Amino acid sequence: MPPIPDTIYFFGTCLVDLMYPQAGVSAMQLLQRAGVKVIFPPAQTCCGQPAWNSGYRDEARSVARAQIALFPKPIPIVIPSGSCAGMMKVHYPELFAGQPDEAQAVDVASRVYELTEFLVDVLHIELRDLGEPLTVAVHTSCSARREMGVADKIESLLGQLSNVQRVEHARKPECCGFGGTFAVKEPEISAAMVLDKVTHIRNAQPDRLISQDCGCLLNISGTMAKQGDAIPHQHIAEFLWERITPHPNLPPQGGKGQEAHPAQASSSPPSPLAGEGLGMGGKFGGQSS
């Protein structure tokens, strides 16, 4: 069992930065809640995966190299995406094989964790559900499932939420058809895949769709939106934060910075890992989708 670090790096990913910032914010809040200090290197941009998967390795490497330089301390790097985590953990060593900075890339790779993996395996996070009864469908990205092997983590986190019922959909392990540039290069196949995925999810009739990867969410929710009746969707971090935060859309009670944290306010024994409150829970606890 890895020791619990007091500080981690957070790599937000380009997609979260532009499309789903709330997922990144919630993820950092979850980490802070568990008593972990978060370092967010501001110069971070993209892991380089789009170019890597398109065959443009030199370009991918130059972008990856710029990211590697941002994580010098020997502490974990937590990423709210199976896809980007997979790029850094699995493919950085391949991308830098034989390069002068190979050792540095391998070191960074060895410190990468996908968020749900980190919450479950390293922080052993304990969640107390404060939300209303709700059903959710889970879509696990292929990179989280197969490359990172962490499909069970999101399920275990949701399993901790007493008022959340998971509903299963047909062909759950099947790819949603995003595949990065695949969606644009082979749009017909991608469309066929995502339309099927949407049908299966709709048939399960969840109140919400939850995933650990924003790329899949972008694909699936965009398709639902075009059909005109989108099931609300959220990144797992945002959803968890909403569930464990009382009245997420209201300003914090007791003055800024003084809010009793759900884990501390509850009558159940506080998580041994619960650290300082954030003081920002109210502001960022809303649902953005």
Work out which of 1, 3, 43, 269 binds other proteins, going by CB under 8 A.
43
Copy the structure tokens of residue 100.
Answer: 């002068």
Helix axes 236-244, 21-33, angle to 10 degrees: 50
Interface mask toward other proteins for 45-84; x: CB under 8 A: xx-x-xxxxxxxxxxx-xx-xx------------------
* Residue 136 lies near other proteins (rule: CB under 8 A): no
Tell me how far, at minimum, the Cβ of 69 lies from other proteins, in Å: 10
* 37 binding other proteins? (CB under 8 A): yes
Of 82-101, binders to other proteins (CB under 8 A) are 94
> How many chain residues touch other proteins (CB under 8 A)?
82
Residues 122 and 4: beta-carbon distance below 8 Å? yes
**What span, in angstroms and rounded, lies between the C-alpha atoms of 73 and 10?**
12
Strand partners, 134: 164
Of 260, 287, 252, give the one whose Cα is nearest residue 276: 260
The smaller minimum CB distance to other proteins, of residues 160 and 199, is found at 199
Q: What angle do CA 191, 194, 199 make, to 5 degrees?
A: 120
CA Rg, the chain, in Å?
A: 19
Nearest to other proteins of 64, 164 (CB atom): 64
Instruction: Considering only residues 183 through 242, tell me which ones interact with other proteins, judged by CB under 8 A.
Output: 183-196, 218-219, 222-223, 225-226
Using CB under 8 A as the binding rule, the residues of this chain from 249 to 288 that contact other proteins are 278-280, 283-284, 288
Find the binder of other proteins among 2, 4, 39, 251 (CB under 8 A).
Answer: 39
Examine residue 147 and tell whether it contacts other proteins (CB under 8 A).
Answer: yes
Specify the residue, 104 or 160, whose C-beta has the smaller distance to other proteins.
104
Q: Tokens for 231?
A: 């099931």
Q: Which residues pair with 79 in a beta bridge?
A: 114
Our finding on whether 152 is near other proteins (CB under 8 A) is no
Nearer to other proteins, 164 or 183 (CB): 183
Dist CA 224 CA 229 (whole Å): 6
Residue numbers 155-184 binding other proteins by CB under 8 A? 173-175, 177-180, 182-184
Count Cα atoms within 13 angstroms, Cβ side, for 264. Answer: 13
Site stretch for other proteins (CB under 8 A), options 8-16, 157-165, 246-254, 266-274: 8-16
Rounded CA-CA distance 202/230 in Å is 9
Binding segment toward other proteins, per CB under 8 A, in 12-20, 101-109, 155-163, 240-248: 12-20
Strand partners, 7: 37
